[in-house]
Amino acid sequence: MESINIGMVGYKFMGKAHSNAYRTLPMFFSESMQPRMKAICGRNLEAVTAAAGQFGWEEATSDWRNLLSRADIDVIDINAPSNIHKEIAIAAAEAKKHLYCEKPLALSLEDSREMLEAAENAGVKHMVGFNYRFTPAVMLAKKLIDEGRLGDIYHFRAWFMQDWIVDPDFPLVWRLQEEIAGSGAHGDLGAHLIDLAHYLVGSMEEVIGMSETFIKERPLPEESGGLSATGGHTAEKGPVTVDDATLFLARFTNGALGSFEATRFATGHRSTNSFEINGSKGSVIFDFERMNELQVYFTDDRDDVQGFRRVLATDPAHAYSDAWWPAGHPIGYEHTFTHAFVELLEAIKEDRQPIPNFSDGVKCQQVLEAVEISIKERKWIQVSSL
């Protein structure tokens, strides 16, 4: 079976998720092109070397440029903090490496467009990390919409709620610093909701939003990653420069209305990622905490049995499900990354662009930025004007 060599930048939360997907893919998708985990990169050589051994990479390095100069690496996987996505992606494209980059694609719309332009000019394949698209239940919702079984779409409402920074003594990790993360809940969580809306319903015409940073200062960390840290009770503090919560309304180009909520201050919600879509012929409800299920309602059901039905999307009839376990046996969060990499490697093999790609990343960034402008100017913003 044909193989392809991977070089990866990043080794924390997303680095572990991506590594697991690369290792799992050959066992369950044996007909796909096979990834070979050649080298992993991180700033701390000792730590990334330990990660290489744990995750199954052949080598480790502390300089991502080393990956670009190697003829035996075909794909660069970028899951490091957002502020270095642009530099690595553009350099990798110029080195004729295919690209996989975590979301949000960049710190700004302008930067994301430069990344797309570089990838297109180089003629390489490029993909952005919107892994929730690859949940079988979400793909079932997409199928129902595309086949017209929900009719005309009227509403898309979505919410992504977490509570991991409610404690005011939680340290100032990089995800709470604008110069590194770009934005807070809006770009981290809201980006996923925006992409799901684009995937399922279509483009947005205009948006209006509001946001809040509830804890303005936090203790400086002694040691931190993106989602964890130590030293939360130190006296020295620094400013939180991103949003803790952002909400916005949207009007889609097809006439549907949308509402979006992304927050890290929803106490009791560890990571609730949900949406509901209402159409003229039916509705669907998805909650990632029950990721193998889709709630489905059809208006043409007989009156005596009308109501939302629970569809378990683990049968072979659903996307990717026939590769995993017997019918009814659930899959998990980690499998969405495996499915994403199947799409990436199949696209490379078939000489086409994978979906979602950097164009989808730019489209998401356009909405993120439109919402930010709306919040500053306190008015509706036309997305296409940016």
Tokens of 331: 């899959």
Residue 383 lies in a domain: no
pLDDT at 231 over 60: no
Kindly state the average pLDDT of the residues 145-155.
98
Residue 382 lies in a domain: no
Residue 384 lies in a domain: no
- pLDDT band for position 52 (cuts 50, 70, 90): very high
* pLDDT for the residue 235: 75
- pLDDT band for position 145 (cuts 50, 70, 90): very high
Residue 191 lies in a domain: yes
209 and 302 co-located in one domain? yes
Closest CA to 89 of 67, 56, 57, 60: 67
83 and 144 co-located in one domain? no
pLDDT digits (tens, 9 = 90+) for 86-97: 999 999 999 999
Kindly state the average pLDDT of the residues 40-55.
97
Residue 222 lies in a domain: yes
First-to-last C-alpha distance (Å) of the chain: 45
28 and 165 co-located in one domain? no
Q: How far apart (Å, rounded) are the C-alpha atoms in residues 107 and 223?
A: 24
Q: How far apart (Å, rounded) are the C-alpha atoms in residues 314 and 382?
A: 40
Q: Give the CA dihedral 377, 162, 331, 298, nearest 10 degrees.
A: -60
CATH assignment at residue 160: 3.30.360.10
120 and 165 co-located in one domain? no
Say which range, 226-240, 256-270, 342-356, has the weakest mean pLDDT.
226-240
Residue 221 lies in a domain: yes
C-alpha neighbours within 13 Å on the C-beta side of residue 374: 24
* pLDDT for the residue 206: 98
126 and 184 co-located in one domain? no
* pLDDT for the residue 226: 54
77 and 119 co-located in one domain? yes
Last residue of a domain, one of 78, 104, 130: 130
pLDDT at 232 over 70: no
* pLDDT for the residue 23: 97
Kindly state the average pLDDT of the residues 37-50.
97
106 and 139 co-located in one domain? no
Q: What are the b/e assignments for 116-141, b being 16+ CB within 10 Å?
A: bebbeebebbbbbbbbbbbbbbbbbb
* pLDDT for the residue 227: 59
Cβ(243)–Cβ(185) under 8 Å? yes
Kindly state the average pLDDT of the residues 44-58.
98
Q: Which of 232 and 44 is assigned the larger pLDDT?
A: 44
248 and 186 co-located in one domain? yes
- pLDDT band for position 222 (cuts 50, 70, 90): confident
Cβ(26)–Cβ(34) under 8 Å? yes
pLDDT at 51 over 90: yes
Residue 274: helix, strand or coil by DSSP?
strand
Instruction: Output the CA–CA distances (angstroms, integers) from residue 361 to 130, 158, 200, 219, in the order listed.
Output: 9, 19, 15, 33
Residue 109 lies in a domain: yes
138 and 126 co-located in one domain? no
pLDDT at 224 over 80: no
* pLDDT for the residue 230: 53
The β-bridge relationship of strands 282-287 and 272-279 is: antiparallel
Residue 359 lies in a domain: no
Cα angle: 55, vertex 58, 61; to 5 degrees: 90
Q: Which domain holds residue 86?
A: 3-130
Last residue of a domain, one of 130, 151, 173: 130
pLDDT at 263 over 70: yes
In total, how many domains does the chain have? 2
* pLDDT for the residue 204: 98
Kindly state the average pLDDT of the residues 159-176.
96
138 and 123 co-located in one domain? no
